[in-house]
Amino acid sequence: MKSCLTTLTVLLLSLSALVQAAERPKIALVLSGGGARGLAHIGVLKVLEEAKVPVDCVVGTSMGAIVGGAMATGMSADEMASIVSAADWEYMFGDKPHRKDVPYFRKRDDQQDYFDFTLTLKNFWPVPPRNLVGVHYISQFFRQMTKGIEVENFDQLPTPYRAIGADLETGKTVIMRHGDLPLVMRASMSVSGVFPPVPYENYLVVDGGIVKNMAIDEGRKLCGDVVIAVNVSSPNAQRQKLDSLFAVSEQTINIAVQKDMQAQIATLTAQDVLITPEMAKLSSTDFKESTKLMAAGEQAARTRLAQLQRYALTDVEYAQWQQQRQQRKAKTPHIQKVEIAPTRWVSPQVLKSVLAVPKGELLDIPALHQRIDEVYARGDFVRIGYQVKNQPDGATLKVIPVEKDGQDFARIGLKMNTDFANTSSFGLVAMLRRSWLNDLGAEWQVQGELGETRALYTEIYQPTVLNGAFFLAPWLQWKDEPKDLVINHETVGQHRILHAGGGIDIGSVIGKWGEVRMFVADQQVRWRSSLEVNNPSIGEHYEQIAYGIKAVFDQLDNPRFPRAGNWIKLDYTHADQDLGSDKAYQRLTLDWRRAFTWDDYTFFATGRGGTALGSTLPYAEEFQLGGALNLSAYRRAEFVGNNFFFTRLLGYKQIKDMPSALGGGIYVGLLAEAGATSQQDSWSSALLDNTVYSMGAVLAADTRLGPFYLTVAQGQQQRRAVHLTLGISY
């Protein structure tokens, strides 16, 4: 009896709402495009909700399609504002995974001086990028906003919805009435050249703003007796601001956009409402200013409150209208099956092992996105999308991975240092990697360097089990590097040290944070000098057979200018004459770095130490201190020995953002260093007695080419130096 009464009540409320809807004019909300300025639409929605103005359908273009699509699913303005305020827009548009998600075998590249991009190769030729901005994370953001809703057509949404796009081939307006809602939202805002075009039916869809930035006519066709139109487009720039190629190009496009918009606005009548937020100082790229943008929309809507209130409902009527609308909301689906689209190179087991969803489990979007991000962070995919398909036997989660255009990748970079006196170095570095040599994810990598140091290194990384904890890594190396000779505080020349040989590592992965490698290596070592110095070891050539262990733990949030995390490295080598080595020695080093942030200030502490454990190191293996960020006031390799310690505290603050195309930020900081070496066979108080100090100031920039440092340092006995450095100090 109780259930019958409940059903009857719902039916009566629905009938009442239908009668009210028949008596009042239908209202179409039309939202224009405008990039970040489109976030002002959320402020307008907030006022409409407060004023109890019902919206019977919504039509959006570009950013208007995104806000409109979220609203059409039943999301409130407050929910939208909360999601938008919490969004990391730089992260989403940068499409670069959080470092915590990146597996260590990929993080290893961060210890090299490569530029901040990776080239995909096809037939050993670079594949040109199709767009400037990736879409993996922005697509996930749209899925989050729509909560995984799946409908046959957009008339079935709580609020009927249309998105406007443009066909890239013909230039025709594309009215998107059905399809995968998050994909349609992305299609409507896919600015040509910035985002990739989106296939839709027989069209290749890009940003609809170039053909119909405010589709008032489509709003009338869909439902609108009355149109509430919101214009957030950027006005044409004044002459004095047309002072660059970019400004002129943007103005040329905007003229055409504004011309069509004015034609649409001209069709508005006295019963319609036009809302134009005032955002003169906010641009289409100011996503970080979401609070100001939403406030601008709210303020503009309040100035039109008298016009809007003509269409307001009573409290009871609005509650009934909202209840009817909420009844149309799709319920969170139970996933009965997971399907993964086929891949060309990447083993599908990588996706299956991570994306397995228990049968019958409710779709948990945040958890699903986290699992997808773990796979995406491997670097094999352009994006990993998914769709939820409702079927008679339950919902199917279809995962759609889009691989990169090739399985070969290359990185290049530069390293440079000068003290503006008598020490300068320069190097060109490069890396070539072929991924997925087999179904276990084996990779072959070749690294090279030309310049003051000349080197070639190749390794095959072979996991023993897919996504397993163990791997094998045979390698070969040839490296010819300098070692400065410093006498009486002056660099008088260089020795050259050559290592050539190979080995095999047996390793274990420590989650995403690090790895441990045990190794055996056999190398030929030779050192030579053009200087006439009294050292019988000059020209020495010997075989070095050694075993040891290397362990690295990397939890820094940024390898260049971290704000948090630790980096720890342990390296132990034992050259043993019982194995046939010409030299016998032990060499142990420990390096610990810790970053922590207080307010706007970051402190990056480093502690390093090394010992020969009672043996005597060959000249080629001696520890060295001196040079940029390594006792900066002193010459490179001014201090050498069998044992050493070094500490550094670098405090810095970001003072300016750089354009994202150029890099991250510009920093200023202070530097304090202390360290010492000794020729004794083991650590002793004499090592501490040798301690020298250095203090200085740093101006740095995090660029796409790498980190630049300008360091001015003062040491003891009036020692001072200025360094300009490009490269990471690992």
Active site residues: 62, 207
The SS3 assignment for 124 reads coil
Which residue, 330, 343, 342, 349, is CA-closest to 389? 330
Rg (CA), the chain: 32
Which residue, 335, 339, 343, 349, is CA-closest to 399? 339
Q: Which amino acid is at 60?
A: G
**Contact in structure between 321 and 20 (CB atoms under 8 Å):** yes
Which residue, 385, 488, 344, 421, is CA-closest to 142? 385
360 vs 309, 323, 334, 355, 356, CA distance in Å? Answer: 46, 28, 5, 14, 12
DSSP 8-state class, residue 183: H
Q: Which two tokens stand for residue 277?
A: 């937020």
**Contact in structure between 349 and 466 (CB atoms under 8 Å):** yes
Return the bridge partners of 462, or none.
472
First to last CA, the chain: 75
Angle, to 10 degrees, between the axis of helix 136-146 and the axis of helix 77-86?
150
**Contact in structure between 291 and 44 (CB atoms under 8 Å):** no
The SS3 assignment for 637 reads coil
* Cβ atoms within 10 Å, residue 675: 24
Q: Which amino acid is at 589?
A: T
Angle, to 10 degrees, between the axis of helix 365-376 and the axis of helix 136-146?
170
Q: Which two tokens stand for residue 61?
A: 């273009």
Q: Please give the Cα distance from 227 to 308 (Å, whole number).
A: 11
Q: Please give the Cα distance from 216 to 248 (Å, whole number).
A: 28
Q: Please give the Cα distance from 196 to 561 (Å, whole number).
A: 31
Q: Which amino acid is at 457?
A: Y
Which residue, 406, 475, 425, is CA-closest to 447? 475
Q: Phi-psi bin for 717: left (phi > 0), alpha (psi -120 to 50), beta? A: left
Question: Which is it for strands 643-657 and 663-678: parallel, antiparallel or unpaired?
Answer: antiparallel
Beta-carbon contacts of residue 718 (< 8 Å; ≥ 6 apart): none
Q: Please give the Cα distance from 128 to 135 (Å, whole number).
A: 17
Residue 657 sits at φ, ψ, to 5 deg, of -85, 145
Q: Which two tokens stand for residue 392?
A: 């008679």
Beta-carbon contacts of residue 724 (< 8 Å; ≥ 6 apart): 416, 417, 418, 420, 708, 709, 710, 711
Cβ burial of 284 (10 Å; 0-12, 13-18, 19+) is: buried
Residue 567 sits at φ, ψ, to 5 deg, of -140, 120
Q: Which two tokens stand for residue 198?
A: 């989106």
Helical (H) or strand (E) element with 634: none
**Contact in structure between 231 and 32 (CB atoms under 8 Å):** yes
Q: Please give the Cα distance from 219 to 372 (Å, whole number).
A: 37
Q: Please give the Cα distance from 640 to 679 (Å, whole number).
A: 8
